[in-house]
């Protein structure tokens, strides 16, 4: 449906806000493609950095192009000591998403040149953001524990290095690979609230750090990026496999939502959830099952039995929370990790937007009054 001049569509639901060749979703068939490549193929064969290149520049890189991109990202992982000093002043009780939004915006102070028509500038901005966002997330995590941040390790690949900066341990290759796939699965998903926010900010031709800071702020809300945290709280609340069925029945009777299930677009199982389910099984097989996993398996079975006929299945957040928790990642970092991944999609939309820009300027339907007489203060 398209909006006519005077039709108001709350939330702009289903209103096309752009023409885009970045990603494609078919919610009825359960298809997700990045630049025409199926997510299943990318998850099986690609890496997060290769997928990032594909999303932003529109084609798979050659061996040399990928090596160059990886090296540039590796070289730019460190953050300036003044940004670290600024972060040290953040309250340790603050949410990591607020810390990330502030730090991302601060990059604009340090890299102030703006040359949106220069491909080299675009490349540098992309590399800096992809490289530094994980370092900033991990640095805040260390600093709030009272530690100095752990410096990026040039010998480690993107995913391994992030988990190392976070936990001080070099993860097992399977854990790092699964984390890398999680990043790929979250890298892009057409136009949602945070991507739209990035596009609106980009359309003013401001700098890319402001674009990403806007998007991070939008992702931070519980209606957008926070569902995988809620899944963990729900599994905690359920407490045991035996409690799954009565818990689900109670939620359904009260018309409450079961976290990690259902999707605005997918009416079959989210293809990302299917991929993650397989990865979670491998991870738990290797590192040992725990009660959370057993509760989750039973929960999916019961919800499918009760709500599958309504098109409600597990979504990507159901499994990503489980995987992150198993990797030892604190719950309040789940949304910042979503941001680390989605920065790839946001940058792709930034580039697409400024390539053929028109500033966003929707209209409104005014519902207020007119021509009120001004009443002097003493008479009010
Ligand atoms: C994602 C979500 C907002 C999509 O919602 P939506 O497409 O607008 O669907 P609606 O909220 O209109 O729900 C349609 C029906 O399915 C039910 N439903 C949708 N998701 C449900 C869930 N997770 N648990 C129980 N019932 C659910 C609704 O109650 C409604 O039932 P009704 O027709 O009998 O009233 C919704 O599924 C949800 O809140 N899920 C839980 C949070 C979550 O996991 N979010 C992450 C999404 S990636």
- Whether ligand 1 lies within 6 angstroms of the CB of 258 is answered as yes
Would you place residue 5 in the very low, low, confident or very high pLDDT band (cuts 50, 70, 90)? low
Q: What is the model's pLDDT at position 4? A: 53
Alpha carbon separation from 323 to 38, 174, 292, 368 (Å, rounded): 22, 12, 11, 49
Q: What is the DSSP letter of 79?
A: -
Tokens 């002097």 belong to residue:
376
- Whether ligand 1 lies within 6 angstroms of the CB of 321 is answered as no
Class of domain 227-326: mainly alpha
- Whether ligand 1 lies within 6 angstroms of the CB of 263 is answered as yes
Fold of 47-221+332-355: Citrate Synthase; domain 1 (1.10.580)
Q: What is the model's pLDDT at position 1? A: 47
Best residue among 255, 257, 260, 271 to mutate for probing ligand 1's pocket (most ligand atoms within 8 Å of CB) is 257
What mean pLDDT is predicted for residues 171-197? Answer: 96
What mean pLDDT is predicted for residues 358-365? Answer: 95
Q: pLDDT tens, 230-279?
A: 899 999 999 999 999 999 999 999 999 999 999 888 988 899 999 999 99
Q: Does the annotation mark 290 as catalytic? A: no
Cα-based torsion angle of the residue sequence 5, 10, 13, 18 in order, rounded to the nearest 10 degrees: 50
**E strand or H helix that includes residue 139:** helix 119-143
> Could you tell me if residue 357 is left (phi over 0), alpha (psi between -120 and 50 degrees) or otherwise beta?
beta
Q: Which ligand 1 atom sits nearest the alpha carbon of residue 261?
A: 23
Q: Hey, whose CA ends up nearest to atom 38 of ligand 1?
A: 262
As to burial, measured by CB atoms within 10 angstroms (0-12 exposed, 13-18 middle, 19+ buried), residue 123 is: middle
- Whether ligand 1 lies within 6 angstroms of the CB of 10 is answered as no
Q: Return d(Cα 341, Cα 274) in angstroms, integer.
A: 18
Cβ neighbours, 10 Å, residue 371: 4
- Whether ligand 1 lies within 6 angstroms of the CB of 227 is answered as yes
Q: pLDDT tens, 309-324?
A: 999 999 988 999 899 9
SS3 149: coil
Q: What's the mean pLDDT when you consider all of the chain?
A: 94
Q: What is the model's pLDDT at position 114? A: 87
Closest by CA position to 177, among listed 278, 260, 97, 68: 278
How many residues can be counted in the chain? 380
**In the beta sheet, which residues pair with residue 33?**
24, 38
Three-state helix/strand/coil letters over 286-302: HHCCCHHHHHHHHHHHH
Question: Residue-wise over 71-100: b if at least 16 C-beta within 10 A, else e?
Answer: ebbbebbebeeebbebbeebeeeeebbebb
Where do the domains of the chain lie?
47-221+332-355, 227-326
Q: Return d(Cα 143, Cα 120) in angstroms, integer.
A: 34
Q: pLDDT tens, 54-99?
A: 999 999 999 999 999 999 999 999 999 999 999 999 999 999 999 9
Closest by CA position to 129, among listed 75, 73, 57: 73
The Å distance, Cα 255 to ligand 1 centre, comes to 10
Residue with the larger pLDDT of the pair 2 and 134: 134
- Whether ligand 1 lies within 6 angstroms of the CB of 310 is answered as yes
Indicate yes or no: pTM above 0.85.
yes
The Å distance, Cα 300 to ligand 1 centre, comes to 15
The Å distance, Cα 234 to ligand 1 centre, comes to 16
- Is 3 a residue whose pLDDT tops 60? no
The Å distance, Cα 259 to ligand 1 centre, comes to 9
Closest by CA position to 221, among listed 106, 335, 90, 133: 335
Q: Return d(Cα 23, Cα 2) in angstroms, integer.
A: 20
- Whether ligand 1 lies within 6 angstroms of the CB of 279 is answered as no
The Å distance, Cα 366 to ligand 1 centre, comes to 31
The Å distance, Cα 88 to ligand 1 centre, comes to 40
Q: Hey, whose CA ends up nearest to atom 19 of ligand 1?
A: 262
Q: Does the annotation mark 263 as catalytic? A: yes
Question: Residue-wise over 290-321: b if at least 16 C-beta within 10 A, else e?
Answer: eebbebbbbbbebbeebbeeeebbbbbbbbbb
Catalytic residue among 186, 189, 263, 349: 263
Q: What is the model's pLDDT at position 194? A: 97
Q: pLDDT tens, 137-179?
A: 999 999 999 999 999 999 999 999 999 999 999 999 999 999 9
- Whether ligand 1 lies within 6 angstroms of the CB of 317 is answered as yes
Supply the angle between the helices 119-143 and 158-167 in degrees, to the nearest 10: 30
């Amino acid at each position: 449906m398209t909006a006519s001049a005077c039709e108001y569509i709350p939330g702009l639901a289903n209103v096309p806000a752009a023409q885009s060749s970045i990603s494609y979703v078919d919610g009825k068939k359960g298809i997700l493609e990045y630049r025409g490549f199926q997510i299943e193929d990318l998850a099986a064969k690609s890496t997060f950095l290769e997928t990032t290149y594909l999303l932003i520049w529109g084609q798979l890189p050659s061996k040399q192009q990928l090596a160059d991109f990886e090296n540039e990202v590796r070289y730019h992982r460190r953050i300036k000591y003044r940004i670290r000093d600024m972060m040290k002043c953040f309250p340790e009780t603050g949410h990591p998403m607020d810390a990330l939004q502030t730090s991302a915006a601060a990059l604009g102070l340090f890299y102030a040149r703006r040359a949106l028509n220069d491909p080299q500038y675009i490349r540098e901005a992309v590399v800096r953001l992809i490289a530094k966002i994980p370092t900033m997330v991990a640095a805040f995590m260390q600093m709030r524990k009272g530690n100095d941040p752990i410096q990026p390790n040039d010998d480690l690949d993107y995913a391994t290095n992030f988990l190392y900066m976070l936990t001080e341990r070099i993860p097992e290759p399977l854990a790092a690979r699964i984390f890398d796939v999680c990043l790929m699965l979250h890298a892009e998903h057409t136009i949602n609230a945070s991507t739209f926010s990035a596009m609106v900010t980009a359309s003013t031709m401001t700098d890319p750090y402001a674009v990403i800071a806007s998007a991070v702020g939008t992702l931070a809300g519980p209606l957008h990026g926070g569902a995988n945290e809620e899944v963990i709280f729900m599994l905690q609340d359920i407490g045991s496999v035996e409690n799954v069925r009565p818990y689900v029945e109670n939620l359904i009777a009260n018309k409450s939502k079961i976290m990690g299930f259902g999707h605005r677009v997918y009416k079959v199982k989210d293809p990302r959830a299917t991929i993650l389910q397989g990865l979670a099984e491998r991870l738990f097989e290797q590192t040992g099952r725990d009660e959370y996993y057993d509760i989750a398996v039973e929960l999916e079975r019961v919800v499918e039995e009760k709500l599958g006929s309504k098109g409600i299945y597990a979504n990507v957040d159901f499994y990503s929370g489980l995987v992150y928790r198993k990797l030892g990642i604190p719950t309040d970092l789940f949304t910042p990790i979503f941001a680390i991944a989605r920065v790839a999609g946001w940058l792709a939309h930034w580039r697409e937007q400024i390539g053929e820009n028109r500033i966003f300027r929707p209209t409104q339907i005014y519902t207020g009054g007119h021509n009120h007489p001004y009443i002097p203060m003493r008479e009010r």
